Structure 1
């Protein structure tokens, strides 16, 4: 078991008691541990809690994310479809989440003093992007993307923000 898991058992016990899914539980400690998804991190926390004598169970319907991660493939497919409609050298995925979800997450983080939490939008952007890139066949550009596909998770709608093309030129006026 990794040391960061054992060092945070009390906070992990509090958060796991909220009935969050493994992804949301792991995301609350998202900046701890390396090279693992929040889903894996959440399962690791539950295993550590079970070994310490606290059995926790995720609710069937996550009270934080409302199971939005079950629709990653649908979001990625919609984003890839939109991005493939335009010509570009690179792209980036962005998301809009329900304001209630963002508020619940912010409240949990503040109430429990979770300084290592990762935001739900960051995880959604990453996970949708990892699936979408398989269909888009273009590199992701974080600093200056030519196309940003913004996925509205409430309606599974995608809007594109296309960076303007700047063409510079000179001319001589002869008359």
Structure 2
């Protein structure tokens, strides 16, 4: 079908504005707006048919009902909705009523059009240009700070504020603090007498101790911690700290000095948790952090039943060094982990000294190695174990994570 025939077929559907007529051929002939393209097609069709020129009535367009005459109005609505927010880049999105979408898709299908541009794409572009001119900030299709959603059916604008990500490392100096918020096991976060109506299983978490100052600084709704693994609640995180990314949810402010914020977090955490921020991050950083399998170094204090000399202990530890351990899911985590056997390697293990009747042991293990079970054997679920090699019960009485070594360095 020739283009003039296609134009005639489109006009036969009913009154149509130049914007919508041009959009049906929107990917042809660069350098024109859709309105210019539509006007040119209309005039060419009239010349070919020797018919009088007739200006379209935009409000009567059977597809958009005159929406493109309201670009400036939509731009003003967006600017008003963005008032009070800190941002550098934005993006426009559009919710198109089903009837509008179905109408243009019907024409695409009926006429086998190959070069159309959807109505929402033109609205996004045209309103975006109008907003950019008003606020003197650029649109960014890849990583906008905020997204303004035009709802053509409701006539409203919804603002979506994209999160901020901050990378760093944290230290946990106090035992008994979980990494992330836990809902109360009884009420599941609703609040009950057992949790003193807080809805929390534990009063604080690393996530909350870091997150509360961030929520205040960015005027945000929430802050979520993404860590490179996690330490047990009764373990400390010392040494160089654990890599993490903090996701600040719905921040109304974005211009915050990270060095100053780091000091505020450390002061408010009262030596329970400490952080060093390495810089701004993004969602890809979170994905890299989660996918990176880190080696970890632990310092543990071990009690052993009966009399054991440092030499005997050292000989037993040598039998674990470099060995691949078979670990069935420990009993203590079986309620939340799949019951299966995992293979993890002990990269290094050394005797580190004595304290009273207990021994310090330094362990470097692959990601996912259960250290407590490496010592106790977990009733035979972990093999080999220190208990099995010594032929007597051994148990970890304290555990500190000293190093989390990843390919991701938090930068």
Give your verdict on TM over 0.5: yes
> Where in structure 2 are there 5+ consecutive unaligned residues?
175-411
Q: Which is bigger in relative contact order (C-alpha 8 A, separation at least 6)?
A: 1
TM-score, length basis structure 2: 0.39
Higher strand fraction: Structure 1 or Structure 2? 2
Aligned pairs for 1:67-82 within 5 A? 67-82=66-81
* Residues 1:38 and 2:65 aligned together: no
Q: Could you tell me how far apart the structure 1 residues matched to 2:151 and 2:73 are?
A: 12
Give the CA RMSD over aligned residues: 1.7
TM-score, length basis structure 1: 0.89
SS of structure 1 residue aligned to 2:169: coil
**1:84 corresponds to which residue?**
83
Q: Could you tell me how far apart the structure 2 residues matched to 1:94 and 1:83 are?
A: 14
**2:144 corresponds to which residue?**
145
> Where in structure 1 are there 5+ consecutive unaligned residues?
1-6
Q: Could you tell me how far apart the structure 1 residues matched to 2:115 and 2:50 are?
A: 22
Q: Could you tell me how far apart the structure 2 residues matched to 1:41 and 1:17 are?
A: 18
Q: Is the 8 A contact 1:32 1:116 kept in 2?
A: yes
Aligned pairs for 1:38-117 within 5 A? 38-53=34-49, 55=51, 57=54, 58-59=56-57, 61-117=60-116
Q: Is the 8 A contact 1:74 1:156 kept in 2?
A: no
SS of structure 1 residue aligned to 2:160: strand
**1:135 corresponds to which residue?**
134
| Runs of 4 or more above 6 Å deviation | none
Q: Could you tell me how far apart the structure 2 residues matched to 1:9 and 1:27 are?
A: 15
The structure whose Rg is larger is: 2
Higher helix fraction: Structure 1 or Structure 2? 1
Q: Is the 8 A contact 1:80 1:133 kept in 2?
A: no
* Residues 1:23 and 2:19 aligned together: yes
